[in-house]
Amino acid sequence: METTMRFRQGSVVKIPITVRPGAFINERFISLESLSGMISGFVSAENVLDVDGDRGFIQGTVLDVKQDTVVVRIKGSFFTTTGLAVLSRDWAASHLSSG
C-alpha cells in the first residue's frame, strides 16, 4: 500500500486533536488517540493550530519511523505519556500533514 506522506526523523507534522480550554488563558487541553491509548494533557495555546470548534492540530516532531508505526514528540504536559505519541503508520499517512 502506498502512503500519501513520507515520514522522516526530524520532520515536523501537524496532528489532528480534540481541543478544549485549559485552566489558564494561554493553554489548551488536548486529546488524541494513539496505539498505546488516549493521550491527553495541557499545551501552550500558541502550539494549537487551525482550531475549528473542538477540533484542531498540534505540531509534533517525528522521532522514529518503523514499518508499522510513527513515533512523534508533542510539547506539553501530559497525564499518560512524556509527550510521545506512537501512531499507526497507515493512520498517520492519512491524518498527518506537513507542519
pTM: 0.86
Three-state SS at 74:
strand
How far apart (Å, rounded) are the C-alpha atoms in residues 83 and 72?
A: 8
Tens-place pLDDT, residues 57-68 = 999 999 999 999
pLDDT in tens, 73-93: 999 999 978 889 999 999 999
SS3 sequence of 5-71: CCCCCCCEEEEEEEEEECCCCCEEEEEEEECCEEEEEEEEHHHEEEEECCEEEEEEEEEEECCCEEE
Closest CA to 61 of 91, 95, 96, 34: 96
The pLDDT tens digits of the residues spanning 21-72 come to: 999 999 999 999 999 899 999 999 999 999 899 999 999 999 999 999 999 9
